[in-house]
Amino acid sequence: MKNLTKLLICFFTIFLMFHGSATSADLNNTFQLNANAAIAVDASSGKILYDQYGSKQGQGIASITKLLTVYMVYKNIAEGKLEWSDKVKPSDYAYNLTQDPAASNIQMVKGESFTVQDLVNACLLPSANSAAITLAEKIGGTEPKFVDQMKQQLKQWGITDEVLINSSGLNNSDLPQAYWYPGTSQDSENTMSAKDVATIAIHLIKDFPDVLNITNKPEIIFDKGGNSETMMENTDYMLPGKAYSFSGVDGLKTGTTALAGTCFVATANQNGFRVITVVLGADESVYGENSRFTETQALMENVYSHWKIQTLVTKGQSIKKYTKINITDGKSKTTNLVADANLSIPVIDNETPGYQFNKVSENLIAPIKKGEQLTKVILLENDRLGYLNGFQEPEFSLVAQKSVQKENSIILFFKHLINKASS
């Protein structure tokens, strides 16, 4: 049945390619993944390109949590509170977790300290839980206090529907009760919507793009030259040379627990078009844990086959129906309006967005300088999927193409006199 469904979807997609343009609603209604929730967004604008229960709350996110943990590390480094070269000694709690064969980890020699850089690498590639806890305790003093900082960061991004109890993504049942977040139970685990996860990912990439120089590596040495030196393999199997490689993929993070199932946040850049995808709870019945990669492949193929980056406005271009504006008391009665910059956005199957112009005062008074911003234009797009929290439709400014000098004061006096007499 599942194969038949995919065949019908494939047929419908090909039909649309040859029989007119598909809308985002068409694709969203006909293309379905075998997962609990999924979303795809443009990494530049935050525009949602695909949404399958993306806003559904209570989705387990497992080790995808570490994207937020790593964001907090980058933020502390940017604020001068931490250095990449700082050495951190894991607590007994963090070290003891490395001895648990059921938890994702790397082997550490007890009593040794590790650089922040090594610990971040360990979080992102093999998804080492002890590394995440060590970083959390370094920044927050305790992991619960660090979690409070994580929650505050989410709140700043408009995310308030999450359940966040630790820095690693493990279920409480996998951890000593003494280290549970206050007020949580044995079954507690980090949960968010796919949309929330995409919001974390886009901020990580936008604010700290260097993270991709870590996530794009198939393997990295941990504690090079130290007693715990080991080669860490990336769990992202969609990187070049891996079993499920996909063109342009250079990150981001896998996650797995009993509640969350197999999850994957991915990002790819094809010809300057970077997409972020989130797949939560992939159906494991056919490909097992690798289903998160096959479902992500299908999602990326769908997005890249229909969405393209299109330059809609070029710098110096005039916009139809709004090519000029009236000027009072100027040597010229009008000035031409032109765009102040290029604007490129993802467009589905060459759909053409409309424009919405902010209201502009009709009493602009000279002088007007060349390049002076006179109004802003907001793009009105045809789809209804919207944007991530904190992002909105792109806009650009219309500026004066030429300067308009103020008219001679004597001439203005007589013009005003005549206007007053005729009124």
Q: Give dist(CA 115, CA 226) in Å, integer.
A: 11
Catalytic site includes residue 127: yes
Q: 354 forms bridges with which residues in the sheet?
A: 380
Catalytic site includes residue 87: no
Task: Tell me phi and psi for residue 302, to 5 degrees.
Answer: -65, -45
Catalytic site includes residue 423: no
- Write the DSSP string, 53-105: STT-S-EE-GGGGHHHHHHHHHHHHHTTS--TT-EEPPPHHHHHHHT-TTS--
Cβ neighbours of residue 39 under 8 Å, at least 6 residues apart?
Answer: 48, 50, 51, 52, 54, 194, 195, 197, 198, 277, 278
Q: Give dist(CA 398, CA 316) in Å, integer.
A: 9
Percent of the chain as helix, strand, coil, to the nearest 5: 35, 25, 40
Task: Tell me phi and psi for residue 100, to 5 degrees.
Answer: -90, 110
Catalytic residue among 24, 44, 104, 127: 127
Q: Which two tokens stand for residue 273?
A: 């078009």
For 17, the enclosing helix (H) or strand (E) is helix 2-18
Catalytic residue among 63, 104, 167, 291: 63
Tell me if 61 sits within 8 A of 255, measured CB to CB. Answer: yes
With b for 16 or more beta-carbon neighbours within 10 A and e for fewer, the 107-120 pattern comes to: ebeeeeebbbbbbb
Q: Give dist(CA 35, CA 266) in Å, integer.
A: 15
> How far is Cα of residue 230 from the mean position of the Cα atoms in its chain?
31
Q: Which of 249, 170, 171, 265 is nearest to 216 (CA)?
A: 249
Alpha-carbon separation of residue 9 from 153, 195, 304 (angstroms) = 39, 24, 16
Catalytic residue among 66, 75, 138, 217: 66
DSSP code, position 181: P
Q: Give dist(CA 215, CA 206) in Å, integer.
A: 15
Q: Which two tokens stand for residue 26?
A: 């068409």
Q: Give dist(CA 108, CA 121) in Å, integer.
A: 14
Q: How far apart are the first and last CA of the chain?
A: 78
> How far is Cα of residue 137 from the mean position of the Cα atoms in its chain?
26
Residues labelled as active-site residues? 63, 66, 127
